């Protein structure tokens, strides 16, 4: 096979058997999960489950309640509100999600995105313009965490700022009244790597919840049981606010040995609305503990839940624990009190859904945009990002694309019923991004929020034209700077590639930097500037363990502003600092050790020809969506027979179309760009060893399983 070494990691049979038994999955699936180091229940959960109830609560953000209260105050007092976003897909979708919902709430809301000449993030000009309109609340989306100066200025003008962002925070946070960013140290949020649109979606989800009777309601769940083994009573309590646990108590009470004054339970329950599953049984146990002198007012959760989920009416708490789906994945949830908590959350959500029939539909429309943002910003396809993208794509397929996306799909000739994450990443996202890259991000936002179908059609056509311009600009820019960029490697110890060229459109610096990184295998920086002002704009794309924001932080004195993610960041600086910046960059990079490029390519599993059947292709549904930290499945099959072969291509026959025969099934395959190998080293009725991705081909409404060959060699079994 090719120069790269293909390896299949050895795995423990004991570990595979354990996963098969615990999660009721096949040996093949278990072996792939083990090879990918996905062996913990809270990791596997997001491969096997799609339900929205497995996403994290927006109120896990420690600051979410404050954000909700400030926005509701703005509604009550008729304040003017500005949503300030970013010009890329994440920023535009974030703005659309929040703007749509605040408009529905009846808030006097407007939006603003950076113009072509603006730097990234909230600008002083935007703050001043809003102050002239007597605006009093700015909400940033997908930006703001680095806007210390601008937010101070807003405060001086009497404008409150809520920052919703997902970028790496600087050492000194801005003085916003509320910051909602999963990457801040005290965010409280259990998963850091969500997009800006996901943060906006969480804010909207919290605002939706605030319209229900459950908002800010505090209750206490109580479970009491007799522990025969230890001759005591086990008492477990969870206090809940906005469906999030805020406090827990687990206490053992030994009769005759523990004074009531030494117990924490009475103080924990004081003044609480107490829910239990079986009130008669619990009151009896409490009387055994405390006697008849203390009265407990308990609410029977079973009666309420049974109205919504009748099948649970006669279940005991132990049976509830065994029925809990989440307990299968998360060990901490494998207790009766945790099962009650999860059941209570499910019950509340079902009540909310039944009273607000449009809410689920609106949520699915939001998730279409959250899915786009996660893929566009290259968020890791782990944890709840998988639920966002799966549900977003499923909504596009089954519910129809939301207005704006529908017109864009039509303009791009994309069929929504068969759309995949790859289609979104390769076609839809670049088109939406093109508007922002060419300084017209407002077109993309208008496409997503316009109520006029004809306007949306025209905007979609314009955006597609801009995308063609963007492709040409990228190709021209890359061609122009390629050689000088390669030469720059010498100056940067062959660890960094830097290119400065005033002819590059600043909107494509990130794409060009990414291409340079791919070409030379090192982090890359592309800088451009205009002769009309003295500011240079740059993008950095990083790899091999070099954290882009940390590298830029070490050069922070040069910048007007800078920020971003671990492997993608941006900055601006004055022209007169450019030469010194480049000199200091050379010094900084010398001291940095890059990780070695991966020499081997890991294969997920070996499939013998007789086992390569339609069921193998069901793995697509488990591992999609593919993306960052979740590459496409890569399989190997040895000694498989080619029964047919032909060359194909639109203009010339440059690709190879093969048919493999497993003995029981015929499986079509494509080998891109390898047409010339037919009758040289590839021929019919020979056996080959192949490495491949599994995929589905959609043509004329017919779905066909097919494999995409990545490497092929003649088998020794011939």
Q: Are residues 245 and 343 in the same domain?
A: yes
Position 14 scores a pLDDT of 96
Q: What is the mean pLDDT of residues 3-12?
A: 83
Q: Are residues 578 and 608 in the same domain?
A: no
List helix spans (H) across 170-237.
196-209
Q: Are residues 401 and 538 in the same domain?
A: no
Query: CB–CB of 608/14 below 8 Å?
Result: no
Position 473 scores a pLDDT of 94
User: What are the pLDDT digits (tens) for 289-310?
Assistant: 888 877 778 999 999 999 999 9
Q: How far is CA 265 from its chain centroid?
A: 40
Give the CA radius of gyration of the chain. Answer: 29
Is residue 658's pLDDT more than 90? yes
Position 2 scores a pLDDT of 52
pLDDT interval class at 584 (50, 70, 90): very high
Spatial CB neighbours of 478, under 8 Å, sequence gap ≥ 6: 512, 515, 516
Q: Which of 93-102, 315-324, 404-413 is least confident?
A: 315-324
Q: Which of 22-26, 49-53, 117-121, 588-592 is least confident?
A: 117-121
Q: What is the mean pLDDT of residues 689-693?
A: 96
Domain boundary among 304, 332, 367: 367
pLDDT interval class at 328 (50, 70, 90): confident
Q: Are residues 232 and 337 in the same domain?
A: yes
Q: Are residues 415 and 522 in the same domain?
A: no
Position 203 scores a pLDDT of 99
Position 703 scores a pLDDT of 87
Q: What is the mean pLDDT of residues 516-529?
A: 95
* Domain encompassing residue 145: 37-211+358-367
Position 717 scores a pLDDT of 81
Q: Which of 284-298, 533-547, 600-614 is least confident?
A: 284-298
CA atoms within 13 A on the CB side of 381: 21
Position 113 scores a pLDDT of 96
Q: What is the mean pLDDT of residues 28-40?
A: 97
Distance from first CA to last CA of the chain, Å, rounded? Answer: 16
User: What are the pLDDT digits (tens) for 474-519?
Assistant: 999 999 999 999 999 999 999 999 999 999 998 899 999 999 999 9
Q: Are residues 298 and 332 in the same domain?
A: yes
Q: Are residues 429 and 527 in the same domain?
A: no
What's the CATH code of the domain at 318? 3.30.420
Number of domains in the chain: 5
Backbone angles phi, psi at 416, to 5 degrees: -55, -35
Neighbours of 424 (CB within 10 A): 28
User: What are the pLDDT digits (tens) for 405-419?
Assistant: 999 999 999 988 888
Position 599 scores a pLDDT of 65
Is residue 670's pLDDT more than 70? yes
Q: Which residue has the tokens 């703050």?
A: 127
Percent composition of the chain: helix, strand, coil (DSSP 3-state, to 5): 45, 20, 35
Domain boundary among 534, 564, 590: 590
Position 91 scores a pLDDT of 97
Q: Which of 292-296, 400-404, 469-473, 700-704 is least confident?
A: 292-296
Question: What's this model's pTM, rounded to 2 decimal places?
Answer: 0.91
Position 4 scores a pLDDT of 63
Assigned token pair, 618: 């069901």
Q: Which of 1 and 469 is assigned the larger pLDDT?
A: 469
pLDDT interval class at 333 (50, 70, 90): low
Position 342 scores a pLDDT of 93
Q: Are residues 432 and 570 in the same domain?
A: no
What's the CATH code of the domain at 445? 3.90.1640.30
Q: What is the mean pLDDT of residues 338-344?
A: 94
Q: Which of 24-38, 486-500, 669-683 is least confident?
A: 669-683
Position 24 scores a pLDDT of 95
Q: What is the mean pLDDT of residues 63-68?
A: 98
Q: Are residues 203 and 73 in the same domain?
A: yes
Q: Are residues 350 and 363 in the same domain?
A: no
Q: Which of 135-139, 266-270, 471-475, 611-615 is least confident?
A: 266-270
- 5 within a domain of the structure (yes/no): no
Q: Which of 87-91, 129-133, 599-603 is least confident?
A: 599-603
Q: Are residues 362 and 372 in the same domain?
A: no
Residue 253 buriedness (CB in 10 A; 0-12 / 13-18 / 19+): buried
Q: What is the mean pLDDT of residues 555-582?
A: 93
């Amino acid at each position: 096979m090719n120069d790269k070494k293909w390896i299949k990691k050895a795995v423990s049979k004991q570990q595979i058997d354990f996963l098969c038994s615990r999660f009721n999955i096949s040996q093949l699936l278990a072996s792939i999960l083990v090879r990918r180091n996905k062996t913990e229940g809270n990791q596997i959960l997001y491969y096997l489950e799609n339900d929205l109830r497995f996403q994290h609560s927006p109120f896990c953000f420690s600051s979410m309640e404050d954000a909700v209260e400030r926005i509701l105050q703005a509604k009550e007092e008729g304040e003017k509100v500005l949503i300030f976003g970013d010009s890329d897909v994440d920023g535009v979708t974030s703005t659309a999600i929040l703007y749509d919902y605040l408009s529905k709430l009846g808030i006097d809301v407007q939006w603003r995105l950076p113009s072509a000449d603006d730097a990234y993030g909230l600008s002083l000009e935007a703050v001043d313009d809003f102050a002239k309109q007597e605006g009093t609340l700015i909400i940033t989306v997908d930006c703001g965490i680095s806007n210390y100066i601008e937010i101070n200025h807003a405060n001086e003008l009497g404008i409150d700022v809520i920052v919703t962002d997902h970028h790496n925070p600087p050492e000194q946070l801005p003085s916003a009244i509320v910051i909602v960013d999963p990457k801040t140290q005290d965010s409280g949020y259990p998963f850091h790597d969500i997009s800006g649109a996901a943060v906006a979606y969480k804010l909207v989800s919290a605002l939706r919840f605030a319209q229900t009777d459950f908002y800010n309601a505090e209750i206490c769940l109580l479970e009491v049981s007799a522990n025969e083994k230890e001759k005591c009573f086990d008492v477990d309590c969870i206090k809940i606010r906005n469906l999030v646990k805020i406090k827990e108590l687990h206490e053992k009470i030994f009769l005759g040995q523990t004074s009531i004054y030494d117990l924490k339970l009475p103080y924990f329950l004081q003044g609480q609305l107490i829910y239990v599953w079986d009130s008669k049984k619990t009151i009896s146990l409490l009387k055994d503990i405390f006697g008849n002198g203390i009265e407990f007012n308990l609410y029977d959760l079973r009666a309420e839940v049974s109205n919504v989920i009748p099948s649970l009416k006669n279940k005991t708490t132990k049976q509830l624990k065994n029925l809990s789906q989440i307990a299968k994945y998360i060990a901490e949830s494998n207790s009766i009190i945790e099962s009650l908590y999860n059941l209570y959350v499910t019950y509340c959500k079902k009540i909310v859904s039944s009273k607000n029939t449009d809410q689920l539909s609106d949520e699915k429309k939001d998730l279409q945009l959250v899915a786009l943002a996660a893929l566009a910003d290259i968020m890791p396809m782990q944890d709840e990002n998988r639920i966002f993208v799966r549900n977003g794509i499923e909504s596009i397929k089954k519910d129809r694309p939301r207005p704006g996306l529908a017109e864009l799909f039509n303009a791009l000739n994309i069929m929504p019923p068969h759309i995949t994450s790859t289609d979104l990443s390769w076609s839809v996202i670049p088109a939406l991004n093109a508007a922002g890259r060419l300084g017209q991000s407002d077109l993309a936002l208008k496409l997503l929020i316009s109520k006029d179908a004809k306007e949306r059609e025209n905007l979609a056509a314009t955006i597609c034209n801009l995308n063609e311009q963007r492709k040409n600009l990228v190709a021209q820019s890359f061609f122009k700077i390629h050689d000088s960029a390669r030469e720059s490697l010498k100056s940067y110890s062959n660890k960094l590639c830097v290119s400065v060229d005033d002819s590059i459109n600043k909107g494509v610096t990130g794409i060009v930097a990414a291409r340079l990184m791919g070409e030379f295998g090192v982090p890359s920086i592309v800088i451009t500037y205009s002769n009309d002002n003295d500011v240079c704009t740059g993008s950095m794309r990083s790899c091999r363990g070099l954290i882009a924001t940390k590298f830029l932080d070490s050069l922070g004195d040069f910048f007007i502003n800078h920020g971003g993610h671990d492997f993608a960041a941006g900055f601006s600086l004055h022209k007169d600092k450019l030469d010194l910046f480049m000199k200091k960059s050379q010094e900084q990079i010398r001291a940095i050790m890059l990780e070695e490029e991966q020499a081997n390519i890991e294969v997920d599993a070996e499939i013998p020809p007789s086992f390569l059947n339609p069921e193998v292709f069901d793995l697509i549904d488990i591992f999609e969506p593919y993306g960052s930290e979740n590459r496409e499945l890569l399989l190997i099959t040895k000694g498989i027979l080619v029964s047919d072969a032909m060359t194909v291509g639109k203009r010339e026959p440059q690709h190879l179309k093969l048919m493999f025969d497993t003995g029981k099934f015929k499986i079509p395959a494509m080998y891109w760009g390898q047409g010339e190998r037919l009758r040289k080293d590839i021929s019919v009725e020979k056996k080959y060893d192949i490495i491949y991705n599994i995929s589905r081909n959609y043509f004329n409404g017919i779905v066909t399983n097919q494999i995409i060959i990545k490497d092929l060699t003649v088998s020794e079994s011939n």
